[in-house]
Structure 1
Amino acid sequence: MTAPTRFTVTESSDSLWRVTFRNPPINLIDPRMMIELKALLSRIEANDKLAVVVFDSSDPDYFLAHYDLDPNPDDLAAVPEGPTGFHPWLDILVRLSKVPAVTISSIRGRARGAGSEFALATDIRFASDAAVLAQMEVGFAAIPGGGPASRLPGLVGRGRSFEILLGGMDYDGRLAERYGYVNRCLPDAELDAFVDSFARRVSNFDLQALADIKHHINKATLPDDKDFPPQMDAFWRAVSRPALQSISTQLFERGLQQAGDVEKNLAAWVGRIAPSAPAQDADS
């Protein structure tokens, strides 16, 4: 695997790895990150000694901001489908949820949109009280494409799934814990030590026992893979509609995908940006 540019991999031991996202300015999930995540997943899938993988971020403000809404078309075309045959992002999420190793998201800062989808695809989510999670796609006139409509109900229940997906609001770490969006919320200063201690403890247990536990929990809790592609298809249909294009254009004009107020308060911004009215003919 060529050294990744969007994250670092620290092999603390044969059984414990830490993947730290580092893609300035706001840890966007761009085509290069997807290519590198696919290569990382192949390494994880092929490793018969690895027990635990922790995902965190070097940026205290952003775990993973969201999917890149303005990718280079050539870069996007270069992302391979992967073994599932699904859209490249779905391929990453489905494979991530099924790797034999235990996967842990250590969330500090913002995890919105696809960033939230990534966290939901990991086995365990620990959050700082400075974390922010959201599925804000409804504010862009879209459905989330990465499957939270299938993953969230089993975690937070039907009503709260509607609240999260229809409201498009931010959930801080404490509220996310109450809802079941994350396993637990810790004071920011305690997050790293707690996650490290938990990950090291689990990584020392028998690999077969860990794999068996994960297999049977997955069997009881993971959505059927066939549920995901229709959601991604609906997302891409939304991308082509004037409403999403209008909202995105207005937000890019105000600083979307740059470090600043729009990204820090994106849920609030999408709540007050409306699609521009279509132009009227002069004779109308």
Structure 2
Amino acid sequence: MSEQIHVEQRGRVLLARLDHPPHALMGAGMVAELDQLVGRATDDDSVGAVVLTGAHPERFIAHYDIRELLALARSAPSLPESLAKASIGAIGALERIPGSGAVLERTPAAGLSQLRGFHDTMTSIGRSGAVFIAAINGVALGGGCELSLACDLRLISDDGLIGQPEILIGITPGGGGTQRLARLIGRGRALELVLEGRPVPAGEAERIGLVHRVLPRATLLDEALATAERLARRSKPVVAACKRAVLEGGNLPLEMGLKMEQAAFVSSLGHKSTQRAMEAYIAEMNASGDVAAANPAMRDRLVDGTFIDFNGE
């Protein structure tokens, strides 16, 4: 099988081009490579951010490969929703047994195992200390939309389309689309988009909060890389803690979310790089007689990440 994600490292940024010609479809092979990419970005101290974009000139990811889904549908038993939920939990327990993955792949449970794998990879993006940016160069539907929703930032070309069309062929979104979409834009609007199944144009996507920025196609990748370069200078442990507090803590009752935030704050104070940053800030403040908020030069260095090297710890 040919490589479906082409990765090049530019400083502390990994540029990953999603490449599955001719239609730019996502499948199990690409998901496996995505999982490896997320692991690399998380574990490699020389990586602070990842930019995902499509190798296809007009597509980020068209959608998940329906041929693979149909094959899974034909091989898997028909289950009511309650039993399917229990089965997914049981497979999760089995997967913790060494060597069980190869066995599951030869059974009707292979489809459920693949689904869990997709979800685990998307969840890992949200827990990684690396910042993930989706540079959506055109169409991102179905699995492509779900991948972008798992990323921390979404930038889209001005001719782009994004959405969850699964209902149009009689299935629900299965890669986190309903849950991340509802948490991002609200349940009412999310349900409308899922039921309609229509692609959302870039301008509307920005207006409803589905994407962060709409950019001309010609400058999309440069803008994404510039943003990634800046955010890649942040402290990776603190990035991971911020993502957990917002993405996971934000779905908890307020009191529990606040406790998660407090724990992250106290933990961040223990990082040597954090203490160096505070010492440097105080020294600069004493030398200039001013604070960052009123000192444009100092403020710019803080924002662009050149004030302190967090990655020398």
Q: Please give the TM-score of this superposition, normalised by the length of structure 2.
A: 0.63
Q: Which amino acid aligns with 1:143?
A: T
* Pairs within 5 Å for 1:260-275: none
Q: State the match for 2:67 in structure 1.
A: 70
Which secondary structure state, in structure 2, belongs to the residue aligned with residue 169 of structure 1? coil
Give, as a single letter, the amino acid of the residue that structure 1 aligns with 2:151: T
Per-residue deviation at 1:166? 0.5
* Preserved CA contact (<8 Å) 1:154 1:221: no
Equivalence map 1:64-143=2 (5 Å): 64-71=61-68, 77=105, 87-143=116-172
Match of 2:222 in 1: 193
Question: CA deviation digits over 1:1-60, x for unaligned, max 9?
Answer: xx97101111112x2111111110121111211222222222223223321111011212
Q: From 2, 21, 46, give the equivalent of 1:24.
A: 21
For residues 142-180 of structure 1, the C-alpha deviation after alignment (integer angstroms, 9 at most, x for no partner) is 111112211112211122111110100011111100111
Q: Secondary structure at the match of 2:241?
A: helix
1:1-284, aligned counterparts within 5 Å?
5-13=3-11, 15-71=12-68, 77=105, 87-221=116-250
Q: Residues 51 and 210 of structure 1 are in contact (CA less than 8 Å); yes or no, is this contact kept in structure 2?
A: no
Partner of 2:171, secondary structure, is coil
Question: 2 CA distance for matches of 1:221 and 1:196?
Answer: 28
User: For structure 1, which segment, 67-76 or 22-31, has the greater mean C-alpha deviation from structure 2 after superposition?
Assistant: 67-76
Q: C-alpha distance in 1, partners of 2:247/2:33?
A: 25
- Point out where structure 1 has 5 or more consecutive residues left out of the alignment: 224-284
Q: TM-score, normalised by structure 1?
A: 0.69
Contact 1:20 1:56 in 2 (8 A): yes
CA contact (8 A) 2:35 2:121 kept: yes
Contact residue 28 and residue 114 of structure 2 kept, 8 A: no
Cα distance in 1, alignment partners of residues 177 and 28 from structure 2: 21
Structure 1 residues 204 and 154, CA gap change in structure 2 (3 angstroms): same
Contact 2:115 2:174 in 1 (8 A): no
Structure 1 residue 222, shift from structure 2 partner: 5.8
Distance 1:199 1:42 in 2: 18
| Higher helix proportion | 2
Per mean C-alpha deviation after superposition, the further-off stretch among 60-69 and 84-93 is 84-93
Distance 1:218 1:49 in 2: 25
The count of corresponding residues between Structure 1 and Structure 2 is: 218
* Counterpart residue identity of residue 52, structure 2: F
> If you compute each CA radius of gyration, which structure gives the higher value, 1 or 2?
2
Partner of 1:277: none
Report the equivalent of 1:276: none
Counterpart CA distance in 1 for 2:231 and 2:60 is 23
Return the offset for 1:85: 9.6
Shift, 1:120, TM fit: 0.4
1:98 CA drift (Å): 1.6
CA apart distance, 1:64 = 0.7
- Distance in 1 of aligned mates of 2:41 and 2:236: 14
State the AA in 2 paired with 1:36. Answer: E
